[in-house]
Structure 1
């Protein structure tokens, strides 16, 4: 029974990793949230604790979304034939 269970687990992991390569949005959202774990404490410290941790986390996430959207729009304006 053990070899069958380990074979099934390996097949499941292979399927998960192949899906990650096809679907970029969930991976990019995950990486953005992880990066926000670095940005949010910096925002919280820079505001002198005037914001709550939740507000600092939301502000950091808003900044990341704004930055990524501006980069995307920059490329759409200057390289429109790819889109």
Structure 2
């Protein structure tokens, strides 16, 4: 019987440091988080759009229509803030 050598498992401190590094990077870059949350919300919204169309649209068209609606709402919110709080931008 041959022994299988497992790769060296990092120490607990290395794991904690890695998690801390990922956490700090996430705190600086929020766009990937916002994109991920938008895609997750699209997964909830697209079946409702598909059901509301009564089968006139394909499933792919329903997902893109929901994504288009999310982008339109996000752009409207962004432009609202740019108009009323321009010194931040």
Fold shared per TM-score above 0.5 = yes
TM (normalized to structure 1)? 0.88
Q: Which runs of 5+ in 2 are unaligned?
A: 1-7
For these two proteins, the number of residue pairs brought into alignment is 82
Q: CA RMSD in A?
A: 1.5
What per-residue deviation string (whole Å, max 9, x for no partner) do you get for residues 33-69 of structure 1?
A: 0111111011000001111111111111110011000
Structure with the larger helix share: 1
Aligned to 2:38: 32
Q: How do 1:12-23 and structure 2 match up within 5 A?
A: 12-23=18-29
Asked whether 1:63 is paired with 2:69, we answer yes
Provide the secondary structure at the position in 2 that maps to 1:69: helix
What per-residue deviation string (whole Å, max 9, x for no partner) do you get for residues 57-83 of structure 1?
A: 111111001100011101111211121
Aligned to 2:85: 79
2: CA distance, partners of 1:14 / 1:52: 43
My pick for the range that moved more, 9-18 or 22-31, is 9-18
Provide the secondary structure at the position in 2 that maps to 1:62: helix
My pick for the range that moved more, 20-29 or 51-60, is 51-60
